[in-house]
Structure 1
Amino acid sequence: MGARTEVIVLGGAGVDTIVQVPELPLPYADSYMIDSGIRTRAGQTGDFVALGLTRLGLVTHHCDLLGDDPEGDLVRALHEEHGIALTALPQPAGTKRAVNLVGPDGRRLSLYDTSRGHPDDRFPEAVLRELAAAARHVHVTITQPCAQALPVLRETGVPLSTDLHDWDGENPYHEPFAYTADVVFLSAAALADPERTVRRIAERGRAETVVATAGADGAYLLADGRLTRIPAVAPPAPVVDSNGAGDAFAAAFLYGRLSGEPPERCAAYGAVAGAYACTVPASRADAIGRDELLARAAAPTR
């Protein structure tokens, strides 16, 4: 890793097996015939954020625990293909993996294999400090063992972001991330009152910016104490899979932030990138490029 690194992505490397199902929830049956095929590809939350940042022109370095297994090889190949620097620390329990059931409308149900890790897993402090010292920003995923890395990263003074995904506002696992990061992303899917939750994150923690994405209803942006509704953007093609939309939003928002754009503009970038991600089939790992992002963000809304 060189001094040009702009963003470190910590955690969230893994492999998904994609199954296109006829509907969600999937009714019980002895078997289903999957005509579209069952595909396994590299790409979980950290991989998608790193890919999104890289496609937008930011020099990105990803760090996580990986197994010496075929799934780890897929993750390594994804990073090599896209020119993303990767620090792969050994994980004897194996590379993280999940099964995603994807419905015809693009909704998904993810089944995460929690056996690919141990409670005492840790990122070496020296590695964390070396990575943070050379970066403008660190994006911390909520995968284990990233929570234990937060105090060390906070000591370095590097700005931090995180994505709480579908936090319900109550689960204590997410709280260290929510109250330590400077920029917090989350989905509003499990929130009864998104405005109340984003304000509580800002009040209890360090966040200067909190964004709750709400799919077709746009997003809630809390910046400098002011809540703004960000409109959704029409996808440029039919929606086929919502997987990775939140990661794409976060990557594009961070691109705007590191480019010096105001929060509203950053969120507009995020809405464009998230809409694009919904048009990418689940079997592929892809993200919007910088030229297309800027062109779509500049286009008049209809």
Structure 2
Amino acid sequence: MTFQQVSEPYDAYDVLVVGGSGVDTVVSVGALPVPLADSYAVPPLYEGAGHTGTGVALGCAALGLTTGFVDFIGDDHPGTLVRERMAGSGVDFRPLISPHGTRRAVNLVAPDGRRMSFYDARDPAELRMPPEHYLPPLRRARHVHLSIMNFARFLYDDIEALGLPVSTDLQDWDGLTDHHREFALRSDLVFLSTAGASERIAVVMREILHEGRAEAVIATAGAGGAYLLSADDRTPRLVPAVVPPGPVVDSNGAGDAFTSGFLYGRLAGRDLEECARLGAVAGAYACTSRGTHTALVGPEELHAALRAKATAPLTAPPGGDGHRIPGPPDAQVSPTGA
């Protein structure tokens, strides 16, 4: 691997995102699941930079946070698409060139905006980011967000030594797969989707909170809203969904936008409930355009929508005992939020 030549880094970062860049190919289909057939005629395909780290970085920058981003990309056409998307976005993107190429995903999107993603990770298990690449920006960060790339787990010791708060998104973790566990237990803010654990999601959230260092666990449920669990809660609290400012076109990137809105609030000193509301607004906004990370909410729009939606209180989810939380629609979520 080789270093990508970039400009001098910023003096400081509000958020440093590690890992999770890639390219999405979006295919519009008539329904999910797609009925078995030899071939389908579909509208023109969309191809562009996507994946979870890209979305969090772009979302944070659009909200005015000084944002750094370190990752591996390939010296290939998809890598060029990632670099072009980052150019002029406000994100200080500092990639390493990997011979394994840029990560890809093919996302099937239904008319109601739901999606199914097929993720091509590419990175070998032994891939590591050299400390001389990530330590300089890490030392200038207020907050670190780790995507669940395998190489990113090896940054935890340095993050803890520097005393930095860290967040992660476990995507559709079922609470069992070992790959996600270290991220779950060594992060201060843990985001995940309800899709993986389904009816066990409240149990998984409590295990993360009680066994790890998290101050809060947030599970997103698409149109069903999200659930917030902190040390002060007996059961997860429902964060009501926000009506998007336009028709729902594509849910790709909504979870990443939620994370960006939440981090924006947390870095401004907001309490967890308001952070979750900010996340819900940002996530809803992201669903109003085709493609991944193509509709990014700004701070003025975020606060205007939050004021308009501030009348709905946070309530306990159905079931009361926290053992059953309704899951999202049956769309599948990729391991990277691609």
Query: Do they fold alike, i.e. is TM over 0.5?
Result: yes
> What residue in structure 1 maps to residue 260 of structure 2?
251
Partners of 1:5 and 1:257 in 2: CA distance: 15
1:193 CA displacement: 2.6
> What residue in structure 2 maps to residue 195 of structure 1?
202
> What residue in structure 1 maps to residue 307 of structure 2?
298
1:22 aligns with 2:14: no
> What residue in structure 1 maps to residue 184 of structure 2?
178
CA contact (8 A) 1:128 1:153 kept: no
CA contact (8 A) 2:23 2:78 kept: yes
Partners of 1:81 and 1:33 in 2: CA distance: 35
> What residue in structure 2 maps to residue 219 of structure 1?
226
> What residue in structure 2 maps to residue 281 of structure 1?
290
Equivalent residues in 2 for 1:160-171, closer than 5 Å: 160-171=166-177
CA contact (8 A) 2:15 2:145 kept: yes
Partners of 2:196 and 2:118 in 1: CA distance: 17
> What residue in structure 1 maps to residue 325 of structure 2?
none
Taking a change above 3 Å as real, the CA distance of residues 4 and 284 of structure 1, as seen in their structure-2 partners, is closer
Partners of 1:275 and 1:249 in 2: CA distance: 8
Taking a change above 3 Å as real, the CA distance of residues 98 and 297 of structure 1, as seen in their structure-2 partners, is same
1:146 aligns with 2:141: no
Judge which range, 75-84 or 188-197, deviates more: 188-197
SS at match of 1:190: helix
- RMSD of aligned residue pairs (Cα, Å): 1.4
CA contact (8 A) 1:42 1:285 kept: no
The alignment-based identity, stated in percent, is 48
Partners of 2:97 and 2:37 in 1: CA distance: 39
SS at match of 2:13: coil
Partners of 1:233 and 1:283 in 2: CA distance: 19
> What residue in structure 2 maps to residue 260 of structure 1?
269
Partners of 1:135 and 1:85 in 2: CA distance: 12
Among 9, 18, 34, the alignment partner of 2:17 is: 9
* Residues 74-132 of structure 1: CA deviation (Å, up to 9, x unaligned): 10111113121111112101011111111111111111113x22111101123232221
Amino acid at match of 1:268: R
> What residue in structure 2 maps to residue 97 of structure 1?
104
SS at match of 2:217: strand
* Residues 152-180 of structure 1: CA deviation (Å, up to 9, x unaligned): 32222111000001111111110010001
CA contact (8 A) 1:21 1:104 kept: yes
Partners of 1:189 and 1:117 in 2: CA distance: 24
Residue-pair matches, total? 300
Partners of 2:295 and 2:160 in 1: CA distance: 31
Query: What TM-score do the two structures reach when normalised by structure 2?
Result: 0.86
Q: Unpaired segments of 5 or more residues in structure 1?
A: none
Query: What TM-score do the two structures reach when normalised by structure 1?
Result: 0.95
Amino acid at match of 1:295: A
> What residue in structure 1 maps to residue 280 of structure 2?
271
Judge which range, 223-232 or 160-169, deviates more: 223-232
1:284 CA displacement: 6.0
